[in-house]
Amino acid sequence: MYRRLSLRLLCLLLTLALPASAQFTRDNAANKKIDEAINEHYLATDFDKAEGVLTGTVQACGDKCSPQVIARAWMYVGIVRGSGKNDQAGAKEAFQKAIATDPQVKLDTALATPETQKTFDGAGGAGGAATPPAAPAEAPAAPAGGEEEGPGGMKCTPDAMEVQTRRPIPVECASDEEAAGVELRYKPFGGDWKTVKMTKKGEVFRGEIPCNDTKSAGDLKVYARAKDAAGETIDNWGSKNKPINYTMGEAVTGEPPAFTGEAAPARCADSAECPPDFPGCGTSSNRGNVDWGGKCENSTECKQGLLCESGVCETAPSCESDNDCSTGKCTEGKCDVGSDGGSASGPYPKNWLGLHFAQDIAIIGGSNVCGEDGGYECYDAGSRTSAYGGPPYPGTGIAKGTALATQRLLLSFDRAFTANFTAGLRVGYAFSGGPPAVTVDGTTGEQSGKINFLPFHAEARLTYWIRPLSKVGFRPYVFAGGGMAQVDAKVKVTVFDCSAPDRSGNAPPADCSSGGPSTAPGDLTTRKVDAWKKLGQGFIAVGGGVVYAIKPQIGIQANFNFLYMLGSSGPVLQPSVGVVYGL
């Protein structure tokens, strides 16, 4: 019975101990920061910096560091405060935290002054001396990011395996740390180290070694490093000195590597033999030799498997169809150079916001403009409240032409469904609208009400982009749409007034308003009025324009609308300028 109980207790202790040891994934990184704080900052008498690094390390540890490492950090905080700043009260507080975390923590007597040693002893510290922080090596430091480290806590697939040559190698990594980004580094047999920036998908990071670098048989070395938002390496899979090995071979027949839940990429063609329509051939013969990270003006300058994004050769995005690619071409699961010859391309923003200023230009004309059914609202010149009721002598006309009308400030939102097609909205507010339009009772002929200017603008549109949204430089487009708006245009005219005494002071003849023979227009009093043409309040529109993209996600837009106003109908031209930004 006792033997069974002992075995159960042993199993329980082992079960509890295993996760405890496995969870301290940040000990290695924390010890490096402690050594940095002492060797670089404390010994340089930058005590505030040293203390900041140490306390920051404690905070970053959370529950991912062992009590021994946290206690070590607090012990050195006490040394910085006591021996460096001569703050024994602060040192005692730090020592107490260290001892509470690990009662067996040792003091680094090589750095502690006699007063600081007494403070440590007074706080209840144990005897003996701590292992001093590792001094920097005389040799040049290894590059940051796990160059000298062995395998870390990050898990990546595929692990070391045999891979058939000329196959892309999809690599997928997951880390328990809060990684802001992951870099995959690899070295083809007989080649140099190269880097792929992995992209996050769900909880994992993905990257792919292109088949251009898997052509040679032999060991392909690879490792990955995860970095936080500050660029510090927080986790790794292998290292430059202890990489993971993929053995490349022409005769390998095993299952090819693939991302989780996806089919393996097709094998690329041998560059020596590339018959038409063979998978992986495509445009490889038309591609340049600029490697990942190199500067470029278009994708044809980049090696196969790369595209020119914002002036730099980057790994081509994965795709399932041509519509997934800003280049308009998907080849064997990767975006490829399109029919435009590979101008600079890349993933395009899906959501576009804009701010625009528009000027309305009405196309107007007519005769007897201030008369009944003349189609204009007439007010005394310079007034917005004194309507001219007439009647005027008939015949006052406006020649067919254009007139500056209202202006409007617009906000736009467009959603990209492909790199060449968007649907969007424009909303805004119009300025310089005219005075109210007067309505007349059809039976009595008397004024029955007023209709105020509608300042609000709402518009929906569908747009086709002749050059894709990912392109820098000029991106022309055409569109169609419609919505709600009112356009008011003002023209100054002079009328012969039949409602006022003539030049001799006599009442105008009875046939004045109808232009009868007894009325001589030259004898009538003239009157200056503002004739307002009011168009809308609905419209349909077609037009086009161009965006000059300074960068793929920001540009200056020049737009030209041709509107046909509905309600009070008539044509309107509407040029606008603005700025657009893609998210």
Residue given tokens 């101990």 in the structure block:
17
What pLDDT, on a 0 to 100 scale, did the predictor assign at position 506? Answer: 86
Residue 4 belongs to a domain: no
- 71 and 177 share a domain? no
Does residue 331 share a domain with residue 426? no
CATH code of the domain containing 245: 2.60.40.10
Which whole-number Å values give the CA distances from 145 to 132, 134, 174, 235, 306, in the listed order?
24, 18, 16, 8, 25
Whether residues 56 and 185 share a domain: the answer is no
H or E segment at 99? helix 88-101
Per the domain annotation, does 12 fall within a domain? no
| Model pLDDT, residue 336 | 79
Query: Contact at 8 Å (CB) between 377 and 385?
Result: no
pLDDT of amino acid 430? 96
Asked if 505 and 431 sit in the same domain, the reply is yes
CA distance 80 to 7: 47
CA gap 285, 278 in Å, rounded: 13
Same domain, 406 and 532: yes
Same domain, 323 and 407: no
123's tokens: 């706080």
Are 325 and 355 found together in one domain? no
What pLDDT shows up at residue 347?
Answer: 62
Question: Looking at the domain assignment, is residue 310 inside a domain?
Answer: yes
The CA distance from 108 to 117, in Å, is: 9
pLDDT at 134: 56
Shared-domain flag, residues 525 and 492:
yes
Residues 372 and 483 in one domain: yes
pLDDT at residue number 127: 56
Q: Does residue 457 lie in a domain region? A: yes
CATH number at residue 50: 1.25.40
Three-class DSSP category at 29: helix
Answer yes or no: is 265 within a domain. no
Say if 33 falls within a structural domain. Answer: yes
Domain of residue 524 covers 351-582
Q: How many domains does the chain have?
A: 4
- Domain membership flag for residue 254: no
Residue 59 domain flag: yes
Same domain as 475, residue 387:
yes
Q: Last residue of a domain, which of 122, 141, 168?
A: 122
The H-or-E segment that residue 55 falls in is: helix 47-61
Task: Answer whether 90's CB lies under 8 Å from 63's CB.
Answer: no
Whether 507 and 550 map to the same domain: the answer is yes
95/209 same-domain check? no
Question: Cβ distance 237 to 223 under 8 Å?
Answer: yes
Question: How far is it, in rounded angstroms, from Cα 34 to Cα 17?
Answer: 26
pLDDT means per 10 residues in the chain (583 residues)? 45 44 69 87 88 86 85 92 90 90 88 89 69 50 44 81 90 89 90 89 91 85 89 88 89 88 84 48 59 76 77 77 70 70 60 96 90 87 87 87 95 92 96 85 61 94 90 90 95 91 86 85 90 93 94 91 94 97 91
- CA-nearest of 568, 567, 548 to 559 is 548
Residues 309 and 344: beta-carbon distance below 8 Å: yes
CATH number at residue 375: 2.40.160.20
**122, 145, 178 - which closes a domain:** 122
The predicted pLDDT at position 326 comes to 66
pTM over 0.85: no
Q: Which of 122, 146, 170 marks a domain boundary?
A: 122
